[in-house]
Amino acid sequence: GQQLNQSPQSMFIQEGEDVSMNCTSSSIFNTWLWYKQDPGEGPVLLIALYKAGELTSNGRLTAQFGITRKDSFLNISASIPSDVGIYFCAGQRGEGAQKLVFGQGTRLTINP
Amino acid sequence: GAVVSQHPSWVICKSGTSVKIECRSLDFQATTMFWYRQFPKQSLMLMATSNEGSKATYEQGVEKDKFLINHASLTLSTLTVTSAHPEDSSFYICSATDRGYEQFFGPGTRLTVL
């Protein structure tokens, strides 16, 4: 099935550093979402973006919906140990009842 | 609010047996539920979309006769893996929505087929 192109696949950083990851698609999505998944658990929604060009923050997290509606990025500032996990972007063409297309994930590892 | 549960959280079965996984929305009515499969170190891949009271819509390449989905009520959907084989071992995750913008994910079920 279709997947979004998410990069980087993995990141190894020091605690306190900022993190940036992005997602691109060859087709348009009307909603972009960013999730975090801890080992053995389901994904948890971090940020949802509904309008092209929208920049949204949630604490230390900031995400933007690309103006072309084909890309999005997620930034995490001043990383802390609990930020460790796998981050997924997801695109959705319609409202909540529409299926999600996921990126390949970015595995974040933090050295204390 | 908006809690989705799955049962069991993990299951081990012998090859050739069938396994049923339940997905429940605990505090809202889920008009649509989705079933995903996630292999180790890979992303979530949508298997099927189920709307309450109607037949599930399967993604290309997913065998509907092998992965039986029932969404008989607004709070419960079940996925039955029939005649399971080792290659069916995976992490199965459901999500549910009440037609709002957000899908709420369950905690997942790890299936191991021996």
Q: Note the pLDDT tens digit of each residue in A46-85.
A: 999 999 999 999 999 999 999 999 999 999 999 999 999 9
Instruction: Please tell me which residue of chain B has the smallest CA distance to A87.
Output: B43
pLDDT digits (tens, 9 = 90+) for B37-71: 999 999 999 999 998 888 899 999 999 999 999 98
Partners of B108 on chain A (C-beta within 8 Å) are 40-42
User: The tokens of A39 are what?
Assistant: 């080992």
- pLDDT greater than 70 at residue A1: no
CB nearest B43 (choices: A31, A48, A105): A105
Sign (positive or negative) of CA dihedral A34, A104, B47, B76:
negative
Amino acid at A11: M
Residues near B50 by Cβ (< 8 Å), separated by ≥ 6?
A: B32, B33, B34, B35, B56, B57, B69, B70, B71, B77
User: What is the rounded radius of gyration, in angstroms, for the C-alpha atoms of chain A?
Assistant: 13
Q: Tell which residue, A78, A74, A68, has the closest CA to residue A8.
A: A74
Instruction: Please tell me which residue of chain A has the smallest CA distance to B102.
Output: A96
CB contact under 8 A, B44 and A88: yes
CB contact under 8 A, A102 and B110: no
Provide the β-strand partners of residue B33.
Answer: B50, B96
The pLDDT score that the predictor gives to residue B109 is 98
CB contact under 8 A, B43 and A88: yes
What mean pLDDT, rounded, does chain B reach? 93
CB nearest A42 (choices: B45, B93, B99): B93
CB contact under 8 A, A102 and B45: yes
Amino acid at A46: L
